[in-house]
Amino acid sequence: MKTSWQTKKLKIYISLVVFGIIMVIGIFGFPQFSTQVNLLALTATLIVLIRYTYDTHRIANQTIEASIRPLILRNGFIESWNDVKFSIKNGVLESKPLEFSILKNIAKDISGDIIINNKKYKLLFANNISSKDPKENLSKLENKILLYLYKNYKTENKNLPLKITEVYKIFGIKDGEYAGTINSSRYIKTEGEYFLLTDDGIRLMDSDKPTEYRFEPNWGWMNKWTSINAIFKSEEYEKSDEDNQIYLIYSDMEGNKYFTKENKNFSQDSGKL
């Protein structure tokens, strides 16, 4: 607990009075009180030394803590809690995940929960949610259709044609929407009204299949100035009486625990547990 300035001034005044009394007795000479005066002086000196040692130790600990303490805050703007929802279809994340940044030092043992409308969900973390092929910069539309065609290919063991209008309907692509990245794709070809995988597409997916999303309830560690993403499974929750919030727990390299809490008004706060 912090000491107010008024309390500090009171302690200073008391110390001055005590030392003033000692000086008066010493100056005017009261031999009968010499033993008591010496004892009082030694006691006062001991108290000052103990206090100085304690303050020095406390300041040193605070300096060490500040040098290793991590800080995690969520990035981005959320308009409403009802907008925080996620779904993965055909290996593609349909909505933007929550993103957290480590702004100070290394954070480890990261875990967290989110409460929305009296439902408490376990946050699942991943620092790389890209589902693109590591060798090619696939467009989002191209990647969706490629994954879907390949899934059908593996199920049927045949490179069956899929009707373009049906594929567009599955992914909510409207008529007139730009699809130039599909027309020039190495991995998807168009034959009349149908999509097919090219030989390069099959080879790519067999050897370097795009990484599907993998989220974990605990994340080992993250370095300063890096980000981590999080989602939750809408079907897995427990009831809660608490207000809407996002709550993270994490540690520094010495195992001290900290938290970041975002309240129902999307205001964030951090501290030590």
pLDDT given for residue 192 in this prediction = 87
Is residue 27 over pLDDT 60? no
pLDDT given for residue 65 in this prediction = 65
Output DSSP code: residue 1.
-
- Nearest CA to 229 out of 70, 135, 93 is that of 93
**pLDDT grade, residue 37 (50/70/90)?**
low
Mean pLDDT, residues 201-207 taken together: 79
Which of 35-39, 86-90, 146-150, 175-179 is predicted with the least confidence, judged by mean pLDDT? Answer: 35-39
- Nearest CA to 228 out of 239, 215, 212, 245 is that of 215
Contact 198/183 with Cβ under 8 angstroms? no
Which of 20-29, 85-94, 153-162, 190-199 is predicted with the least confidence, judged by mean pLDDT? Answer: 20-29
- Nearest CA to 244 out of 218, 266, 226 is that of 266
Q: Where are the alpha helices (DSSP H) in 178-236?
A: 180-183, 199-207
Alpha-carbon span 208 to 187, nearest angstrom: 13
Q: Tell me the β-bridge partners of 219.
A: 110
pLDDT given for residue 132 in this prediction = 41
- Nearest CA to 205 out of 146, 273, 125 is that of 146
Compute CA distances 42 → 26, 46, 54, whole Å.
14, 6, 18
Average pLDDT, the chain: 78
Mean pLDDT, residues 58-65 taken together: 62
